Amino acid sequence: MMRNWLTILIVVLSLNTNRAQELNATVSVNAERMTDVNPQIFKNLEKQVSEFLNNTKWTTLSYKQNEKIDCNFFINVSEFNSNNISATLQVQSSRAIFNSSYSSPILNLNDKDFSFRFIEFEQLLFDQNNFNSNLTSVLAYYVNIIIGLDMDSYSELGGTKYLDIASNIMSVSQSSGYKGWSQSEGNNNNRYFLISDMLSNTFVSFRKSLLEYHFQGLDLMAEDLKKGKEGIASSIETIAQIQRSRPNALLTRTFFDAKTDEIVQVFTGGPMTNNAQLLETLNRISPLNSIKWNKIR
């Protein structure tokens, strides 16, 4: 009898593991400026967004608990009027490194045009082929980018399917009237340009560099520190290819918004690599970070 119960328990635990969702998302809503609004509204927003991100099945794949993608969604509310919210959204994601407890940042994006309608306890619905709300569309758009780039870091262009879904969300959302989805807004760093660039052959070096940086770089450092550093240096040369045709490109900035501090940490001390060549490349393609690059010795 005891053996039967143990068998059932193992099966149940196995099923729960197989059904584990893809994200380990933390959601934070800052509404300190909304002094005349019931704060419970924003607590419920935080809770419902967290449940939407963590309980939705975003892929057909099975993720084990330790394979979930760590990510953060910071919503900073600037205006609330009749259930209509204006805010900014910061999205961060990281990727676990082999044979290590370290997680490496992949994304650190700041969306300044995050407006949506929120009604407490109303179910958050999403359909990638139909626009239901700007809240769920924006969240799902970034979720698919997070998953797509995470997959790119394990195999060359491995996340194309999910970046295509993000592109489809962008296309469906363009007729909604909400800002951030259109190429005609006079702003070349909104959601339209971000996903269009990621899927463009012109900027394929961005996605290829993620594989070199992580799979052929950081993942090797536990066993061969010098070889891992060389892989990261090679990835920086790969992303530098964008600079030749598109100086100060959105995806180059996106890469360094996530990676600058980590690059400095990796190349400061330890087995020496060709830091002179590395510094020349870094200062050429990301001159705004020159003060940080000077810390590399």
228-280: pLDDT as tens digits: 999 999 999 999 999 988 999 999 999 999 999 999 999 998 887 889 999 99
Per-residue pLDDT band for 12 (boundaries 50, 70, 90) equals: very low
Per-residue pLDDT band for 2 (boundaries 50, 70, 90) equals: very low
Q: What is the pLDDT of residue 7?
A: 37
Per-residue pLDDT band for 18 (boundaries 50, 70, 90) equals: very low
CA 14 to chain centre: 28
Query: In this predicted model, what pLDDT tens digit does every residue of 74-96 receive, in sequence order?
Result: 999 999 999 999 999 999 999 99
> HEC string of 227-284?
HHHHHHHHHHHHHCHHHHHCCCCHHHHHHHHHHHHHHHHHHCCCCCCCHHHHHHHHHH
**Among 46, 52, 244, 199, CA closest to 139:** 52
> What is the spatial distance between Cα 83 and Cα 79, in angstroms, rounded to a whole number?
10
- pLDDT(11) > 50: no
Mean of the per-residue pLDDT values of the chain: 92
Q: How far is CA 185 from CA 112, 138, 174, 180, in A?
A: 13, 17, 11, 8
Q: Say if residues 163 and 198 touch (Cβ distance below 8 Å).
A: yes
Task: Taking residues 214-226, report their average pLDDT.
Answer: 96
**Among 123, 135, 151, 175, CA closest to 60:** 151
Instruction: State the Cα angle at 68 between 106 and 260, rounded to 5°.
Output: 15
Edge-to-edge strand ranges of the sheet holding 69-81: 23-30, 69-81, 84-96, 103-117
**Among 185, 158, 187, CA closest to 174:** 185
Q: How many helices (H) and strands (E) does the chain have?
A: 11, 4
Q: What is the pLDDT of residue 67?
A: 92
Phi first, then psi: give them for residue 33, nearest 5 degrees: -75, -15
Block residue for tokens 């993620």: 210
Neighbours of 66 (CB within 10 A): 9
Query: Which amino acid, one-letter code, is at 262?
Result: E
Q: What is the pLDDT of residue 78?
A: 97
- pLDDT(189) > 70: yes
> What is the spatial distance between Cα 147 and Cα 144, in angstroms, rounded to a whole number?
5
List CB contacts of 201: < 8 A, sequence separation 6 or more: none
Q: What is the pLDDT of residue 13?
A: 39
Q: Say if residues 139 and 49 touch (Cβ distance below 8 Å).
A: yes
